[in-house]
Amino acid sequence: MYPWFILSILGMCFMVPLHFLSVEHLKFQKKYGADKGNKITGILGLTSGWGFFIFWFGIWISPQPRLSIPFLQNPSFIIPIINFSIPIFYLLMSVPFILIGAWLGILSVKETSLKVAETHRTDQIVSSKIYSIIRHPQYFGGLLAHIGISFLLSSLFSLIFTPLVILLNFLVAWKEEKELIKEFGNDYKDYKEKVPMFFPKLKKQKENIKK
C-alpha cells in the first residue's frame, strides 16, 4: 500500500548486515592482507553508511499517512512551492530534536574525522570531548533527529517505526563495539565501563566538551 516506505524500511534493514561486515577489519585483513582487507571494509563502510542514511531519509519523506493531532493542527506554516503545511506546534517541538541531533553528529565527526565516519575504521580509541560523555553520539543524534524530522513532516509511519529505528542503530553500535574490543582489548572495555552507550553523562557534559 505504501511501497516507497516499505522499500525504505527494508533497505535500512539490509544495510545492517553490510555494516556488520564493514567493521570486521581483522577478519578481512587476515584473509586478504592489510591493504586489500582495509579497502574491502572501506568500500563496505561507504556503501552501508550512505545506504543506511539514504534509506533512513526515505523513511521520513516517503508517502505515508500524516500525523494528525486535531487540537494541535492550527495555526500552520505553509510552504507555498510544494503546498505543504506544518503545524506551528510540530515545528516548535521538532526544532530542539533536530538541532541537538545535528550538533551531536557534527561534534562526533569533528572529533573522529569524516574518513572514520565513512569507513568505520579507526586507529585509536577516541575518548575526548563528546566521546567522554557518550560512546555513540552520532547514532544518538540520528535518533533525536529522526523524532524531530518525523514530527516536522508529520510522518506518522516514521514515528510508529521509531522502535525499529532504535533497534537498528543499537545493533550497528553493538557490532562496532564487539569489533573494537577485538582490536583494542581491555582499553576499550575500560572505556565502555566509564562512558554510557547512548545516554550522555549530563552532569559532566559542559565541563568535558570544553576541555
Query: Which domains does the chain show, CATH number per domain?
Result: 3-210 (1.20.120)
Quick one: CA dihedral 210, 141, 144, 178, positive or negative? negative
pLDDT score for 86: 85
Upstream peptide bond of 75 is cis (omega within 30 degrees of 0): yes
Min mean pLDDT across 35-44, 142-151, 198-207 is at 198-207
Would you say residue 101 has pLDDT above 80? Answer: yes
pLDDT score for 210: 47
Cβ density class 91-110: b for 16+ within 10 Å, e for less:
eeebeebbeebeebbebbbe
Torsion of CA 69, 75, 81, 82, to 10 degrees: 10
Would you say residue 187 has pLDDT above 50? Answer: yes
Task: Please provide the DSSP assignment of 33-49 as one string.
Answer: -HHHHHHHHHHHHHHHH
* Per-residue pLDDT tens over the stretch 49-93: 999 999 999 999 999 999 888 777 777 777 766 667 888 888 999
pLDDT category at 114 given cuts 50, 70, 90 is confident
Would you say residue 158 has pLDDT above 50? Answer: yes
User: Closest by alpha carbon to 8, among 158, 149, 172, 167?
Assistant: 158
* Per-residue pLDDT tens over the stretch 119-133: 778 888 888 889 999
Measured between alpha carbons, how far is 88 from 93 in angstroms, rounded to an integer? 9
pLDDT score for 204: 52
Average pLDDT over residues 130-151: 94
Helices (H) and strands (E) in the chain, counts: 10, 2
